[in-house]
C-alpha cells in the first residue's frame, strides 16, 4: 500500500496532508518523519490553491550519468561508481512554481529524475537496509544551465540557480522504485522516456554509496540521474516530469527578470 504525503495551501492556510481514497486530503497531525496521525478532511486534490515543496531538504545529493543512454548522448564513459554532486536547498521549488531561466545562461536544460527522500538519519547504511531509511519517492527535475556546465567543467554553478530543483508534487511511501516508467514532456512533446530499471546504480546501491561519504538527515533528497533526451527549455514552455506510481510534476518556464525574487 502506498501513501501520498504533501504540503499545500488552501484558503490562506498551510497544511500537511495525506491523500486518501477518492483524492481527498486529510490533515496530518504529528511528524511524517516520525509519528503521525490523520485529522479531518481539508479538500480534494483538485481544490488545492498552491502546492508547496513536499520537503525542505538540508541538501540535495545528485547523481550524474546514471543511465547508460544518457552517458552515450553526452559522449562520456560509464562511471565505475556513482558520480556525486550537490544542489543547494535554495534551488527547490514546488509543483506549479515557475522555473526561471537566468539571464547569464543561454541554454537551460530539463532533466527528469526520480527523487529519494530520506526519512531517518543515515550513515554507513548497507544496500540491504536502505529501505529502512527511505521515507518515499517524488518526481524531480534537475534543471541545468548546460552552457555554464560546459564552461566550468564541474557542475556547481550550472546546477545551483534558484528554481533549478523542482520537486513534488508529493512524496509517495511504500513504492517499489526498481522498475518505474519515467517521462519528460516539453509542452506536448515527449522528450525523455525510460524506466528506473535502466539505472546503472539502483536505489539501494545509491543509498549505500552516498552514506559512506556523508550523513543523510531526515528530509534530505537524492536525485538518481536522468535518461537520454535532455534538451533546452525556452520562455513560455511547460516542463512535466511523469513517474509511474507517483504522478506529474509540472512547472512553467519564464525568463528571469533581474530584481524579481524567485
* DSSP symbols for the chain: --EEEEEEEETTEEEEEEE-GGGEEEEEEE-TTS-EEEEEEEEEGGG-SEEE-S---S-EEEEES-BHHHHHHTT-PPPSS-EEEEE-GGGEE-TTPPEEE-TT-S-EEE-EEEEEEE-S-BSS--GGGGGGGEEEEEEEE--EEHHHHHHHSSSHHHH-STT-EEEEEEEEES--GGG-EEEEEETTEEEEEEEGGGBSS-HHHHHHHHHHHS-B-TT-EEE----S--EEE-TT-EEEEEETTTEEEEEEEEE--TT---
| Residue whose C-alpha cell reads 490553491 in the numeric block | 49
Sequence-ordered list of residues with C-beta below 8 angstroms from that of 68, at least 6 positions apart, any chain: 78, 198, 200
Do 22 and 95 lie in one domain? The reply is no
Distance between the two ends of the chain, CA-based, in angstroms?
36
Do 128 and 200 lie in one domain? The reply is yes
Whether 21 maps to a domain, the answer reads: yes
Do 21 and 128 lie in one domain? The reply is no
Do 37 and 115 lie in one domain? The reply is no
Amino acid 74: pLDDT: 75
Amino acid 68: pLDDT: 83
Whether 261 maps to a domain, the answer reads: no
Residue 103 CA to residue 87 CA, distance in Å, equals 19
Whether 17 maps to a domain, the answer reads: yes
Whether 260 maps to a domain, the answer reads: no
Do 68 and 142 lie in one domain? The reply is yes
Do 29 and 91 lie in one domain? The reply is no
CB-based burial of residue 9 (10 Å sphere; 0-12 exposed, 13-18 middle, 19+ buried)? middle
Whether 20 maps to a domain, the answer reads: yes
Amino acid 185: pLDDT: 98
Amino acid 222: pLDDT: 98
Do 168 and 251 lie in one domain? The reply is yes
- Total domain count for the chain? 2
What are the mean pLDDT values of the chain's consecutive 10-residue runs (262 residues total)?
Answer: 96 97 94 94 97 97 90 82 97 98 97 98 98 98 96 94 98 97 98 96 98 98 96 98 98 88 53
Do 170 and 73 lie in one domain? The reply is yes
User: CATH number for the domain including 123?
Assistant: 3.90.850.10
**Structural domain that includes position 23:** 3-51
Residue 103 CA to residue 1 CA, distance in Å, equals 45
Do 34 and 135 lie in one domain? The reply is no
Whether 188 maps to a domain, the answer reads: yes
Whether 222 maps to a domain, the answer reads: yes
Tell me which of 12, 33, 51 is where a domain ends: 51
Amino acid 72: pLDDT: 77
Do 187 and 230 lie in one domain? The reply is yes
Do 229 and 107 lie in one domain? The reply is yes
Do 17 and 62 lie in one domain? The reply is no
Amino acid at each position: 500500500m502506498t501513501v501520498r504525503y504533501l504540503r499545500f495551501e488552501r484558503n490562506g492556510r498551510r497544511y500537511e496532508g495525506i491523500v486518501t481514497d477518492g483524492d481527498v486530503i486529510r490533515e496530518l497531525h504529528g511528524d511524517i518523519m516520525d509519528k503521525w496521525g490523520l485529522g479531518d478532511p481539508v479538500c480534494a486534490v483538485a481544490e488545492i490553491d498552491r502546492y508547496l515543496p513536499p520537503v525542505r531538504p538540508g541538501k540535495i545529493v545528485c547523481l550524474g550519468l546514471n543511465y547508460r543512454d544518457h552517458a552515450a548522448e553526452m559522449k562520456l564513459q560509464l562511471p565505475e561508481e556513482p558520480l556525486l554532486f550537490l544542489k543547494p536547498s535554495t534551488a527547490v521549488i514546488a509543483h506549479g512554481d515557475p522555473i526561471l531561466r537566468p539571464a547569464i545562461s543561454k541554454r537551460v536544460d530539463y532533466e527528469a529524475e526520480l527523487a529519494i527522500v530520506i526519512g531517518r538519519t543515515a550513515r554507513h547504511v548497507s544496500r540491504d537496509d536502505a529501505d529502512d531509511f527511505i521515507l518515499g519517492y517524488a518526481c524531480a527535475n534537475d534543471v541545468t544551465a548546460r552552457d555554464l556546465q560546459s564552461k566550468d567543467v564541474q557542475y556547481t554553478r550550472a546546477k545551483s540557480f534558484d528554481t533549478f530543483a523542482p520537486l513534488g508534487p508529493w512524496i509517495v511511501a511504500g513504492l517499489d522504485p526498481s522498475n518505474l516508467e519515467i517521462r519528460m514532456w516539453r509542452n506536448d512533446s515527449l522528450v525523455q522516456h525510460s524506466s528506473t530499471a535502466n539505472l546503472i546504480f539502483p536505489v539501494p546501491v545509491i543509498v549505500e554509496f552516498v552514506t559512506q561519504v556523508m550523513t543523510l538527515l531526515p528530509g534530505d533528497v537524492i536525485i538518481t540521474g536522468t535518461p537520454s533526451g535532455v534538451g533546452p527549455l525556452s520562455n513560455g514552455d511547460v516542463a512535466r516530469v511523469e513517474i509511474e506510481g507517483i504522478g506529474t510534476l509540472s512547472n512553467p518556464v519564464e525568463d528571469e527578470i533581474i530584481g524579481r525574487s524567485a
